[in-house]
Every structure is written in C-alpha cells, then in structure tokens.
A and B are shown apart, each in its own frame.
Chain A
Amino acid sequence: MNELSIKELFRFEKTPLNLLIAILTVGLLGIFVAGATYYFIHGHHAFNVTRQHPWGLLIAMYVFFVVSSTGLCIISSIGHVFEVKEFQVIGKRAIAGAIITLLSGFAVIALEVGHPVRMLIYNVLTPGFTSAIWWMGTLYGIYLVFITFEFFFLTIKENHKWAKIFGIGGLLAGLAAHSNLGAVFGFLISRPTANGVFYPVYFILSAMITGCYLIYIIYGFKYKNSYPANIKAMLLKLNKILGMLLGILIFFEAWKIITALYGTMPERAETILHVIKSPTFIFGEVILGMLIPFIVILFSNAKAIKPMVYVSLAGMVGIFFMRYDLVHDTLIYPMDTLKRSEYQLPPTFIEYFPSATEFAIGFGGIGITLLLFYIAEKVFNLDVDTKH
C-alpha cells in the first residue's frame, strides 16, 4: 500500500485526457446521486418499467458491471491461477477492477430491487433454492469474498500461494455466479427466446470478451499506447485470445438466430425476427460489439495493440447494447394473452425506453467505477512485483 494524504489523493497529471476523465467521473457521480435521490423520493415510479416490461436499463447495467467483473477475473486467472507468464502482469489490476465493477453493479442493483435490506435478511432466513436469482446473489457474495482475499494476498500481504488458492476459489465462484445470472433468463419458461441453455454459456463467453476489452482500455489509458515489453507481450497474446473468443461468439449468435427462426415457431421466431431488425442489435451488438473488433484482429494478424484500445471502447459500447438487448428482447413479446378488448389494440411488441432516472443511476454507476479505480491506483501498487 502507498502512503497517501488527502492532498495527494487529488493530485494528478493535468493532461487534457486526465482532465476529461476527471470531469466525466465527477459528472457521472453527480447524476448517480441525483438519480438515487429522485428514486428515493418517487420509488419505482421514477422508472419506465411496467407490468409488461418489469425489468429495464438498471438490470441491463447490473449485468454489464458483473459481466465486466467476471470477465476481468477470468482473464486475470490466466496469469496467476493457470500461470501463463505473460498474463501475470495484469493480476492485481484486473482483480482490483473485478472488485470495483462488482461493487458498482451492487450499487446499481441496490437501487433497482425494491427492498434490498429485506433481501439480505430473507435470502438467509427463507432461501429460495429453486431460484436462479438466489443462487446468483449468494454466489456473487461468495465471489466477492474470494476476490477480496485474493487481492489482499496479491497486493497487501504479497503471498502468492494464498493468492492462488483464493484465485481458484474466486474463479470457480465467479463462473458459477455468472452462469447462474445467465440462468436467471434461461430458466424463464414463459419467454421462449430466452429459455434454454444459451444464456448461461453465452454469459461466460461474453464475460471473457468484456474482460479482454477492459484490459485493452485500462492498459491503453495507463501507458498512453507506449508499452513496456512485458505489457506488449501480454497484449499481443490477448489479441489472439480475443479474436478466438469473438469468432466463437459470432458462431454462437448465428446459430442461436438460425435455430430460433427455423420452423417459424410461434412467439420465438417472431420475436427474434423483430430483434435482428432492430438498430441496437445491428449497430450495437453486431457491428460495434463483434464485427469491428474481429475484423481489426483478423486483418492485423492478431498484432493490433494500439487500434485495439480504441476498438475496445467501441466493443464496450457493443457489450452495453448486448446487455440492454438481453433484457429488452426477453420481454418484448406481450404476455397479455386473451387481453384483447374493444378498449385496447391487439397486443404488439412491447415498447420501453428508460427514464432519466434510470439513465442517471445506470450510467452514473460508471462514475463509481472510475472513482474507485482512481483511488485503487493511488492507494495500491497495482503493477507487477518482482516475486512473480
């Protein structure tokens, strides 16, 4: 740990990029507080969620944050759990990122769940063992404990043996928790587009991709695209891993769509047809999230480091749309069976657009991530130590 004073905490190099990030962080934290305040006054009425569309942007942002956390944990484990030498440099910073993004996700979900304190009490007193949400929440709690200890033994105590033990525990708990988050959607028998094995597997895959994007962004920002040899070696290997993961994701997505459309099964085929024509899918998920990064890696023979930093920013926007569409697409087909009446038009695809409060809390959560990361960089030495 570094010696730190309040004055030192606020001291940073005043480059245009640093100032921009500082202003962005303060702005995002401001809108988070404003959104939270408005929510405390108005409750769920501050959100545009309805009976037909009960989940919205905040669930998407929660998934976005915990996907980031799991992704960073998995990618960092390549180094300090599986002992691939090049990846040992990212251990501390990636685990710090995993803790920070998980806490940001918890901050967002605490404002989405109507009774978070009651949740903590009754999750223990009357656990619903058949509920994917119960498993997901409990396993994420265990995961947080593991990765916190892992970080402690990596950074403060510097005991590689214990760091590895907690790293393995964290990795397993993270994989279990995150696939359970996929099962939260996959278990919905009422929603044919989500129901099935796809989401639990897809969540792990997309988490790894998110982890890769974040590593490029974090190291790109830290080294301003001028990397020491060990970082360069890691980022080069990451290029290959990311390219392979994107290839698998594109393959998975393609087959998911083809099987959903094939045979025009009622409800499922109509929904997927509607989804693949939406701009958030085409421009967000496909072009930004998958195609641009994949093409850059493909045409650079997996040697693109500098471009990947910028492309990873686009990739993260794509990942956001993947999370948003995941929630929205699951819910767009109307459940109001037999509810047609003379006062109501026949059911159509349900529309949803987040309220200002949802935007404030959801995107404001990114401010929490940026602030905590800044503090972590100041307080801890996140660079590789010589013992590795």
Chain B
Amino acid sequence: MARYGMALDYKNCINCRACETACKAENGILPGKDNYRIWIGQKEAEGEWPNISIVSQTYHPSQCQHCDNAPCQQVCPTNATYYDENRVVRVDPERCILCTYCINACPYDARYVDDRTVTVDKCNFCSDTRLANGETTTACQATCPTKVRTFGDLDDPNSEISQLLKTREYKQVKEHLGTKPKLFYLI
C-alpha cells in the first residue's frame, strides 16, 4: 500500500491550464464555474509601473491537499469521506448525504457539489480513472508541459517524490492547522 502525495515545482508553472483541462476531460467534470477539482492561482506582481517585480508574480497550481489529518473526513456524518488503501482522501457517492459539512470544513476550498451524482466531489488523484487502470501518473501531471507536478509514494524512499523532498526545500499550505497536507510546494 502506498501513501500518495504530490510535489509541485510551482515556479515552473506557465499558467497554460492544460492540467485543468486534462483533469476535466479525464474525470468527466461538468462545465460550470463551481465545478473544478484543480485550479491555478496567481500571486499578483508586486510594485508599480515601471518598477514591477516580474519574479514576484508566480502561479500556484492547487487541488485537494489529501491531508493525512483531513478535517473533511473527520466531520463527515456517514463516513462517506474516507482514506483509501493509498491514503488518498476519497468520497463514496453511495454514502454521501450532501449535507455539505465537508465543504465548510475544508480549509482549501477543494470540494464542490457534482451534479452527476448529486454528491460532493473532489480530486482523488485520478484513483478511479488512471490509477485503477494501472497508470502511475495523474492526468494533471501527465499533461504538464513544464513538469511542475511529481506524483508518487511518500513512503517509498526511492520514489521520485521522496527524493525530491529530500533534496529540495518546500512549503505547505495552512499546515499550522494540523491538517498534514500531502501537497508540497518546492521552493
């Protein structure tokens, strides 16, 4: 059994949004402004014309952090949100009652209501699409032209992601909340 996580070399992101498109195509995400599993954020450039700091403008690809201590999982009244055998935080649409408590509890705004199943949906690292078919990459990773994302097993010391996290410094989002996120932003 693995413990999947993702490292993001976010300074390489060129904001092409191919990952967003690949995610929607792979996982059949419906159109609509609230319907997305992953997104690209942008930190605005600092300074005023003409002294604008170009390097201060960065793009931040993001998605569900697959927290090891996920608030969304704790608050679910029917255990519809669960950790699968690879410690991926997933939603069982059969058990989801759409109380949307998990959407309130997620500090990362990673969840939304999926009109296909009328339950809450989120990124699952392509577990039921690509990983279930024996693939070892997620759609967003496979499509990225600048290789921002590295997906893999954090418990395997020889995996590419484990090696990256040993050799590079990284930051995490809202880790002070004790959520133990498994998305690592390489510095």
Contact = CB atoms under 8 A, between A and B. Distances in A.
Interface residues of B, number: 42
Given A126-B78, A133-B75, A336 B109 contact: yes
Nearest to A189: B177
Interface in A112-132: 113-116, 118-119, 122-123, 125-128, 130-132
B77 A128 contact: yes
B118 interface: yes
Given A54-B103, A122-B80, A338-B60, A115 B75 contact: no
A133 B95 contact: no
Interface stretch (A71-79, A304-312, A339-347): A339-347
Given A50-B34, A337-B173, A339-B109, A190 B71 contact: yes
A187 B75 contact: yes
B116 to A, nearest CB: 12
Nearest to B109: A335
A51 interface: yes
Nearest to A50: B34
Contact of A44 (B95, B113, B173): B113
Contacts of B98: 44, 113-115
A191 interface: yes
B179 to A, nearest CB: 8
Interface in A179-196: 184, 187-191
A127 B78 contact: yes
Given A114-B119, A340-B43, A132 B75 contact: yes
Contacts of A115: 96-98, 118-119
B78 A123 contact: yes
Interface string B39-70: 11111100000000000000010100000000
Contacts of A337: 41, 62, 107-109, 173-174
B178 interface: yes
A155 B75 CA distance: 39
Interface in B103-126: 103-109, 111-113, 118-119
B118 A114 contact: yes
Contacts of B112: 51
B163 interface: no
A338 B173 contact: yes
A331 interface: yes
A51 B100 CA distance: 9
Contacts of B60: 338
- Which residue, A44, A125, A335, has most C-beta atoms of chain B within 10 A? A335
Contacts of A339: 39, 41, 62, 109
Given A114-B99, A128-B79, A341 B40 contact: yes
A41 B34 CA distance: 21
A188 B104 contact: yes
Contact of A133 (B40, B96, B101, B111): B101
A43 B118 contact: yes
A134 interface: yes
A148 interface: no
Interface string A101-116: 0000000000001111
Given A54-B103, A189-B107, A330-B104, A113 B97 contact: yes
Given A114-B97, A118-B97, 4 more contacts: A114-B98, A128-B76, A337-B174, A338-B62
Interface of B: 15, 34, 39-44, 60, 62, 71, 74-80, 95-101, 103-109, 111-113, 118-119, 173-174, 177-179
Interface of A: 43-44, 49-52, 54-55, 113-116, 118-119, 122-123, 125-128, 130-134, 137, 184, 187-191, 330-331, 334-342, 346
10 contacts: A115-B96, A118-B95, A119-B99, A123-B77, A126-B78, A130-B74, A132-B75, A189-B105, A339-B39, A342-B42
